[in-house]
Amino acid sequence: MTFLEAISDALRTEMRNDPSVFMMGEDIAGYGGAFKLTKGFPEEFGKERIIDTPISEAAIIGAAIGASLNGMRVVAEMQFLDFITNGFNQLVTVAGTTAYRWGMGVPIVVRGPAGGGVGGGPFHSRNSEAWFVHATGIKVVYPAFPSDAKGLMMASIRDNNPVVFYEHKGLYRKIKEEVPSGDYIVPLGQGRVVRPGNSISIITYGSMVHLALEIAQELQEQNIQCEVVDIRTLVPFDKEIVYNSIRKTHRALVLHEASITCGFGAEIAAQIGEYCFRDLDAPVKRIGAFDGPTPFAPTLEKEVLPKKEDIVATIKEIVAF
Residues designated catalytic: 124
Q: In angstroms, rounded to a whole number, what is the distance separating the alpha carbons of residues 181 and 188?
A: 19
Intra-chain end-to-end CA distance of the chain, in Å: 42
181-200: burial string, b at 16+ Cβ within 10 Å, e else: eeebebebbebbebbebebb
- Under 8 Å between Cβ of 202 and 285: no
DSSP element (H, E) containing 320? helix 308-320
Scanning 72-186, the segments in alpha helix (DSSP H) are 88, 96-102, 129-134, 146-158
**SS3 of 229, please?**
strand
Greatest Cα-to-Cα distance within the chain, rounded to the nearest angstrom: 60
